[in-house]
Amino acid sequence: MEKLPPIIPSVWTIGQRDAASVSAHPLIHVAGARLGSVAQFVEPLKRAQKRFWVHADMIAGLKMDREGLCVLDNLIAPASIVTSNLALARVARSMNKSVVLRVFIHDSQSLESSVSAIDRIRPDIVCCMPAVVFPFVNHEIETFGIPIVVAGLVRTASLRDNLLKLGISVEIGNANLW
Protein backbone atom coordinates (compact mmCIF):
# COMPACT_ATOMS: atom_id res chain seq x y z
CA MET A 1 0.00 0.00 0.00
CA GLU A 2 1.43 3.36 -1.08
CA LYS A 3 2.14 5.87 1.68
CA LEU A 4 0.89 9.26 0.54
CA PRO A 5 2.26 12.57 1.76
CA PRO A 6 -0.16 14.64 3.88
CA ILE A 7 -0.43 17.48 1.33
CA ILE A 8 -0.45 17.01 -2.44
CA PRO A 9 -0.29 20.30 -4.37
CA SER A 10 -2.63 20.38 -7.34
CA VAL A 11 -1.30 22.52 -10.19
CA TRP A 12 -3.19 23.98 -13.14
CA THR A 13 -1.04 26.98 -13.98
CA ILE A 14 2.62 27.69 -14.61
CA GLY A 15 2.70 29.78 -11.42
CA GLN A 16 1.33 26.90 -9.34
CA ARG A 17 3.70 24.47 -11.04
CA ASP A 18 6.68 26.70 -10.32
CA ALA A 19 5.67 27.04 -6.66
CA ALA A 20 5.24 23.27 -6.39
CA SER A 21 8.62 22.69 -8.06
CA VAL A 22 10.44 24.55 -5.30
CA SER A 23 8.21 23.32 -2.47
CA ALA A 24 9.09 20.56 -0.02
CA HIS A 25 6.18 18.46 -1.35
CA PRO A 26 7.43 15.28 -3.07
CA LEU A 27 4.22 14.47 -5.00
CA ILE A 28 2.38 16.86 -7.29
CA HIS A 29 -1.00 16.46 -9.01
CA VAL A 30 -0.87 17.86 -12.55
CA ALA A 31 -4.51 18.83 -12.87
CA GLY A 32 -4.57 20.01 -16.44
CA ALA A 33 -2.55 20.87 -19.52
CA ARG A 34 -2.66 20.54 -23.28
CA LEU A 35 -1.33 17.35 -24.83
CA GLY A 36 1.00 19.38 -27.08
CA SER A 37 2.61 21.16 -24.13
CA VAL A 38 2.29 18.71 -21.23
CA ALA A 39 5.94 17.58 -21.55
CA GLN A 40 7.13 21.18 -21.20
CA PHE A 41 4.68 21.75 -18.35
CA VAL A 42 6.05 18.88 -16.25
CA GLU A 43 9.74 19.42 -17.08
CA PRO A 44 10.40 21.71 -14.05
CA LEU A 45 8.79 19.06 -11.81
CA LYS A 46 11.08 16.42 -13.26
CA ARG A 47 14.15 18.64 -12.82
CA ALA A 48 13.11 19.15 -9.19
CA GLN A 49 12.82 15.34 -8.84
CA LYS A 50 9.14 15.50 -7.96
CA ARG A 51 6.84 12.55 -8.49
CA PHE A 52 3.68 13.61 -10.24
CA TRP A 53 0.27 12.30 -11.09
CA VAL A 54 -1.49 13.45 -14.21
CA HIS A 55 -5.23 13.95 -14.45
CA ALA A 56 -5.79 12.33 -17.83
CA ASP A 57 -9.41 13.54 -18.03
CA MET A 58 -8.17 17.12 -17.99
CA ILE A 59 -5.45 16.89 -20.66
CA ALA A 60 -6.86 18.78 -23.63
CA GLY A 61 -6.41 16.83 -26.86
CA LEU A 62 -5.81 13.45 -25.19
CA LYS A 63 -7.81 10.57 -26.60
CA MET A 64 -9.35 8.62 -23.71
CA ASP A 65 -8.20 5.16 -24.72
CA ARG A 66 -5.16 2.85 -24.61
CA GLU A 67 -3.40 4.73 -27.40
CA GLY A 68 -3.93 8.04 -25.65
CA LEU A 69 -2.56 6.69 -22.38
CA CYS A 70 0.44 5.21 -24.21
CA VAL A 71 1.16 8.62 -25.76
CA LEU A 72 0.86 10.31 -22.36
CA ASP A 73 3.07 7.71 -20.71
CA ASN A 74 5.72 8.06 -23.43
CA LEU A 75 5.65 11.86 -23.19
CA ILE A 76 5.85 12.30 -19.43
CA ALA A 77 5.85 8.93 -17.59
CA PRO A 78 3.58 9.98 -14.71
CA ALA A 79 3.68 8.09 -11.42
CA SER A 80 -0.10 7.59 -11.65
CA ILE A 81 -3.02 8.21 -13.96
CA VAL A 82 -5.81 10.18 -12.31
CA THR A 83 -9.30 9.70 -13.73
CA SER A 84 -12.97 9.50 -12.87
CA ASN A 85 -13.58 7.63 -16.14
CA LEU A 86 -14.06 3.95 -15.25
CA ALA A 87 -13.21 2.72 -18.75
CA LEU A 88 -9.98 4.72 -18.73
CA ALA A 89 -9.14 3.42 -15.25
CA ARG A 90 -9.55 -0.15 -16.54
CA VAL A 91 -7.27 0.60 -19.49
CA ALA A 92 -4.63 2.10 -17.19
CA ARG A 93 -4.86 -0.98 -14.92
CA SER A 94 -4.42 -3.28 -17.94
CA MET A 95 -1.25 -1.31 -18.79
CA ASN A 96 0.04 -1.87 -15.23
CA LYS A 97 -0.16 1.85 -14.52
CA SER A 98 -0.95 3.12 -11.04
CA VAL A 99 -4.52 4.47 -10.95
CA VAL A 100 -5.99 7.23 -8.81
CA LEU A 101 -9.76 6.88 -9.13
CA ARG A 102 -11.62 10.12 -8.44
CA VAL A 103 -15.10 9.61 -7.04
CA PHE A 104 -17.63 12.42 -6.71
CA ILE A 105 -19.97 11.94 -3.79
CA HIS A 106 -22.92 14.29 -3.49
CA ASP A 107 -25.73 12.01 -2.30
CA SER A 108 -26.48 8.45 -1.22
CA GLN A 109 -26.77 7.17 -4.79
CA SER A 110 -23.38 8.59 -5.80
CA LEU A 111 -21.87 7.05 -2.65
CA GLU A 112 -23.27 3.62 -3.63
CA SER A 113 -22.02 4.03 -7.20
CA SER A 114 -18.60 5.12 -5.97
CA VAL A 115 -18.26 2.18 -3.59
CA SER A 116 -19.25 -0.17 -6.41
CA ALA A 117 -16.70 1.43 -8.76
CA ILE A 118 -13.93 1.18 -6.17
CA ASP A 119 -14.78 -2.48 -5.64
CA ARG A 120 -14.72 -3.24 -9.39
CA ILE A 121 -11.65 -1.20 -10.36
CA ARG A 122 -9.56 -1.68 -7.19
CA PRO A 123 -7.52 1.46 -7.86
CA ASP A 124 -4.18 2.05 -6.18
CA ILE A 125 -5.55 5.23 -4.61
CA VAL A 126 -9.06 6.64 -4.15
CA CYS A 127 -9.60 10.39 -4.41
CA CYS A 128 -12.82 11.41 -2.65
CA MET A 129 -14.42 14.61 -3.86
CA PRO A 130 -15.38 17.04 -2.58
CA ALA A 131 -13.17 16.79 0.47
CA VAL A 132 -15.85 18.15 2.77
CA VAL A 133 -17.96 14.98 2.40
CA PHE A 134 -15.22 12.59 3.50
CA PRO A 135 -15.98 12.71 7.25
CA PHE A 136 -19.52 11.57 6.42
CA VAL A 137 -18.55 8.70 4.09
CA ASN A 138 -15.14 7.64 5.38
CA HIS A 139 -16.33 4.31 6.79
CA GLU A 140 -17.63 3.11 3.43
CA ILE A 141 -14.47 4.13 1.56
CA GLU A 142 -11.94 3.00 4.17
CA THR A 143 -13.28 -0.58 4.14
CA PHE A 144 -11.25 -1.30 0.99
CA GLY A 145 -7.89 -0.64 2.65
CA ILE A 146 -6.85 1.54 -0.30
CA PRO A 147 -4.93 4.78 0.34
CA ILE A 148 -7.26 7.79 0.26
CA VAL A 149 -6.74 11.37 -0.78
CA VAL A 150 -9.45 14.02 -0.61
CA ALA A 151 -9.76 17.00 -2.92
CA GLY A 152 -12.07 19.84 -3.77
CA LEU A 153 -13.42 22.76 -1.76
CA VAL A 154 -10.50 22.84 0.68
CA ARG A 155 -10.54 26.60 1.16
CA THR A 156 -9.33 27.10 4.71
CA ALA A 157 -6.42 26.00 6.85
CA SER A 158 -8.84 24.76 9.50
CA LEU A 159 -10.61 22.44 7.05
CA ARG A 160 -7.25 21.21 5.76
CA ASP A 161 -6.05 20.54 9.30
CA ASN A 162 -9.27 18.75 10.30
CA LEU A 163 -8.97 16.48 7.26
CA LEU A 164 -5.32 15.75 8.01
CA LYS A 165 -6.31 14.73 11.56
CA LEU A 166 -8.38 11.95 9.96
CA GLY A 167 -5.11 10.48 8.67
CA ILE A 168 -5.70 11.05 4.98
CA SER A 169 -3.90 13.07 2.34
CA VAL A 170 -5.33 16.33 1.10
CA GLU A 171 -4.93 17.54 -2.47
CA ILE A 172 -5.01 21.33 -2.61
CA GLY A 173 -4.86 23.81 -5.47
CA ASN A 174 -4.41 26.90 -3.30
CA ALA A 175 -0.64 27.31 -2.80
CA ASN A 176 -1.29 29.31 0.39
CA LEU A 177 -2.66 26.14 1.99
CA TRP A 178 0.17 23.81 0.96
Answer yes or no: is 86 within a domain.
yes
| Average pLDDT of span 9-25 | 97
Amino acid, res. 51: R
Q: Say which CATH number the domain at 35 has.
A: 3.20.20.70
Question: How much is the pLDDT for 3?
Answer: 86
Amino acid, res. 13: T
* Three-state DSSP string of 137-173: HHHHHHCCCCCEEEECCCCCHHHHHHHHHCCCEEEEC
pLDDT band at 32 (very low <50, low <70, confident <90, very high): confident
Tens of pLDDT along 134-160?
A: 999 999 999 999 999 999 999 999 999
- Total count of domains within the chain: 1
Nearest partner of 148 among 136, 134, 132, judged by Cα: 134
Answer yes or no: is 30 within a domain.
yes
Answer yes or no: is 119 within a domain.
yes
Tens of pLDDT along 99-126?
A: 999 999 999 999 999 999 999 999 999 9
Structural domain for 60, as ranges: 7-177
**In the predicted model, is pLDDT for residue 2 greater than 90?**
no
Answer yes or no: is 13 within a domain.
yes
- With beta carbons less than 8 A apart as the criterion, state whether 144 and 121 touch: no
Percent pLDDT > 70 in the chain is 99
Amino acid, res. 169: S
